[in-house]
Structure 1
Amino acid sequence: MPTEGQITEPVTTPAVPGPPASPSAEPIIEAVGLGRDFVLSEGPFLRRTRRTVSAVRDVTFTVQPGEIVGYLGPNGAGKSSTMKMLTGILTPSAGSVRVAGTNPSRQRTRLAREIGVVFGQRTTLWWDLPLRDSLTLTRHLYRVPADAHAERLAELTGLLELEPFLDTPVRQLSLGQRMRGDLTAALLHAPRLLVLDEPTIGLDVVSKSTIREFLLKVNRERGTTILITTHDLGDVERLCDRVMVIDKGRLAFDGDLPELRATVPTPRVLVVDLVAPAPAIQVSGATTVRVEGPRQWLELADNPARVVAEVTREQEVADLTLREPDIEGVVSALYRGTVPADNTRA
């Protein structure tokens, strides 16, 4: 994958856009006992000591073709190290990994034909060139035939509304426009797997929505598998079929969002709008945690129907809203260690 202003080793086999991926028994990502250690040098120059730090430890998971998987974790948890091993930038210290049928660190050229990568804080476009020229260079890098490139470029620029910016130098693009350009570059060779690292970081609400809807369309219509790391939990709720959470280098959770919500002891909240302000509501099976004028928030420890019946019987209620635990609160609870470490699946 190219870095800014640099062309890396060329790909020798043309990649032509094709129909959506068909179901396959072979995982597109298979990691077994994956680990990565780093050696740190510390102390004064003449008396430095060395110690080994495990960034990733015994991580095992598979990703099937067509999935959209969120890979979450706090800063320093091991997300970036895992992604670098999956894309061939780092060699594992332990375990094994295969991506799209390749060994990533040993078959980088072959892997490049199968994956597209977007890093939210680093562009793969050429800074001083117009966007159109950057995308043309990408075509030559991946040896995509001209007719396939033209067809794919027209499709992607239409979906991402990039036509007005194709002749604008990359350095003059807004962050949202550049991110859409990076997505186009990553998908021009029709990869089977799209790896995204913080793709909506720093974007406004409209740009985030555009990118999320585009990713869903690419996944649905092309069958492209998507692995995404993000701190924006709106991305997770809108995009992801499945969530993996890594903390302190180990996989702490692997499942879907309903499973995550069920696993983490985050209470549901009943929001009660009274006809007039009143003291905090006292009912069994619920605790009033906040009062603002006529509105009160009750954390539920019992059957919501029973609590609602008791509240409406004792209070003059204008409106009621039951709020499920939001994903941000759930993941925060997971980071704090309130979930057993065996909520994972191979």
Structure 2
Amino acid sequence: MAAVIEAEGLGKDYTVAEGPLLRRRRRRVSAVRDVSFRVAPGEIVGYLGPNGAGKSTTLKMLIGILAPSTGRVRVTGLEPVRARTRLARRIGVVFGQRTTLWWDLPLRDSLALTRHLYRVPRADHARRLAELTEVLELAPFLATPVRQLSLGQRMRGDLAAALLHAPQVLVLDEPTIGLDVVSKTAIREFLLRLNAERGTTILLTTHDLGDVQRLCRRVMVIDGGRLAFDGDLTGLHAVAPSPRTLVVDLAAPAAPIAVPGARTVRVEGPRQWLELEGNPARVIAQVAADYEVADITLREPDIEEVVHRIYADR
């Protein structure tokens, strides 16, 4: 199947000036270096990395804001910088910290202007707006000026604006940043529904590992401008293994638990955390045999810890 996004040897360099004003020196800095990947139609891919790793620079090259210094990129078969106007009709973009809506206009008017920007036929626009209004629950604040919307409401409005022209690809940069739990859940469920029903390809950057675990079948990790990992979540755990944790609630406070195959790393009253080094089943059986246990829970390492280990190793 042809890739909807294809990057090959992608790189972006900047020139920065250093030193005193009258004795400035110029230095080349590589924000992205030799990044290659392919995204198939209908995939949901998480693009992870610490601040300054090159995530946003990569996205800007994919949507045509920045021209690559090296390598090549194609999105829906188009070269983003050369065919930026044509590409804009095939992709939707949402930056969580910036809005594409008109600040002083009611949300309804902002969405109406979007129709003209993308030259969407009136009937198609009306039908899609009705669908998005229902799914994203926009009706209560369509008449509200954008500046008066809450962050969660504005984010839903930005999503609607990005999808009114029925794009093949949706690019999201921190789509749930600053949202409360209810708003995050609503956005995630909407994106899953969009992908399942429309087959929309979604590429998102995020620091919220809940987004990754709920949405992404595939994860790419970028660090220092280079791809450190590209695969599924199981593979991510395999690349940077983190020990599982056994949380034991004893009937009463006690000295740190000592059993083969585990190491007690934390004690708070009757609750103890054990880092597993051996077979979990054997450790659990041994703890239950040697101690009076009220409750016991096995916790898998979360993605945040795994990604942190990748950064630390590099």
TM-score (ref. length: structure 1): 0.90
Letter aligned with residue 154 of structure 1: A
CA distance in 2, matches of 1:117, 1:265: 34
Map 1:294-333 to 2 at 5 A.
294-333=270-309
Map 1:40-119 to 2 at 5 A.
40-119=16-95
Letter aligned with residue 45 of structure 1: L
Please name the residue that 2:258 is paired with: 282
SS of structure 1 residue aligned to 2:132: helix
CA distance in 1, matches of 2:88, 2:257: 60
CA distance in 2, matches of 1:61, 1:124: 28
SS of structure 1 residue aligned to 2:38: strand
CA distance in 1, matches of 2:251, 2:237: 32
Once the two structures are TM-superposed, the CA of residue 265 in structure 1 deviates from its matched residue by 2.5
Letter aligned with residue 162 of structure 1: L
Residue 228 in structure 1 maps to residue 198 in structure 2: no
Letter aligned with residue 274 of structure 1: L
CA distance in 1, matches of 2:266, 2:168: 48
Please name the residue that 1:13 is paired with: none
Letter aligned with residue 189 of structure 1: H
Please name the residue that 1:242 is paired with: 218
SS of structure 1 residue aligned to 2:313: coil
Please name the residue that 2:5 is paired with: 29
1:262 to 233, 238, 262: 238
Letter aligned with residue 287 of structure 1: R
Please name the residue that 2:149 is paired with: 173
Once the two structures are TM-superposed, the CA of residue 239 in structure 1 deviates from its matched residue by 0.6
SS of structure 2 residue aligned to 1:103: coil
CA distance in 2, matches of 1:41, 1:110: 35
CA distance in 2, matches of 1:211, 1:186: 14
CA distance in 1, matches of 2:185, 2:107: 22
Structure 1 unpaired stretches of 5+: 1-24, 339-346
CA distance in 2, matches of 1:212, 1:292: 35
The count of residues paired between Structure 1 and Structure 2 equals 314
Query: Residue by residue, what CA displacement relative to the aligned partner does 1:219-244 show, whole Å, maximum 9, x if unpaired?
Result: 01000000000111111111111100
CA distance in 1, matches of 2:285, 2:235: 28
Once the two structures are TM-superposed, the CA of residue 327 in structure 1 deviates from its matched residue by 1.2
Query: Residue by residue, what CA displacement relative to the aligned partner does 1:281-305 show, whole Å, maximum 9, x if unpaired?
Result: 0011100011111111100011101
Once the two structures are TM-superposed, the CA of residue 320 in structure 1 deviates from its matched residue by 1.2
Letter aligned with residue 194 of structure 1: L
Identity percentage of aligned residues: 75
Query: Residue by residue, what CA displacement relative to the aligned partner does 1:254-306 show, whole Å, maximum 9, x if unpaired?
Result: 11111111221210001111111111000111000111111111000111011
CA distance in 2, matches of 1:312, 1:170: 58
Please name the residue that 1:210 is paired with: 186
CA distance in 1, matches of 2:110, 2:5: 29
2:132 to 147, 156, 166: 156
CA distance in 2, matches of 1:134, 1:332: 40
TM-score (ref. length: structure 2): 0.99
Letter aligned with residue 221 of structure 2: V
SS of structure 1 residue aligned to 2:89: helix
Query: Residue by residue, what CA displacement relative to the aligned partner does 1:72-127 show, whole Å, maximum 9, x if unpaired?
Result: 00011000110000000000000100001100010001101110000001100011
Query: Residue by residue, what CA displacement relative to the aligned partner does 1:174-206 show, whole Å, maximum 9, x if unpaired?
Result: 111000000000000000000000011111111
CA distance in 2, matches of 1:237, 1:309: 30
CA distance in 2, matches of 1:143, 1:304: 59
Please name the residue that 2:161 is paired with: 185
Structure 2 unpaired stretches of 5+: none
SS of structure 1 residue aligned to 2:265: strand
SS of structure 1 residue aligned to 2:254: coil
Letter aligned with residue 65 of structure 1: P
Once the two structures are TM-superposed, the CA of residue 333 in structure 1 deviates from its matched residue by 1.1
2:107 to 126, 131, 134: 131
Letter aligned with residue 67 of structure 1: E
CA distance in 1, matches of 2:289, 2:6: 55
Where do 4+ consecutive residues of structure 1 move more than 2 Å?
Answer: none
Query: Residue by residue, what CA displacement relative to the aligned partner does 1:29-80 show, whole Å, maximum 9, x if unpaired?
Result: 0000000000001122221110000000000000000000000000110001
